[in-house]
Structure 1
Amino acid sequence: MVFPFCCVLVGVQEKMGVMNRGIVYALWDYEPQNDDELGFSEGDCMTVLRREDEVETEWWWARCGDREGYIPRNLLGLYLRIKPRQRSLA
Structure 2
Amino acid sequence: MTTTLSQGPAREPATARRIAAEQADLERLQLEHVRERLLRAGAAAGDDPAAVDAAFREAVAAFAGAPVRAFVPVLVERAVREQLWGARRPGRT
Give the number of the structure whose alpha-carbon radius of gyration is greater. Answer: 2
- Check whether TM > 0.5: no
TM-score, normalised by the number of residues in structure 2: 0.28
Larger relative contact order (C-alpha < 8 A, sep ≥ 6)? 2
- The structure with more helix, counted as a fraction of residues: 2
- The structure with more strand, counted as a fraction of residues: 1
TM-score, normalised by the number of residues in structure 1: 0.28
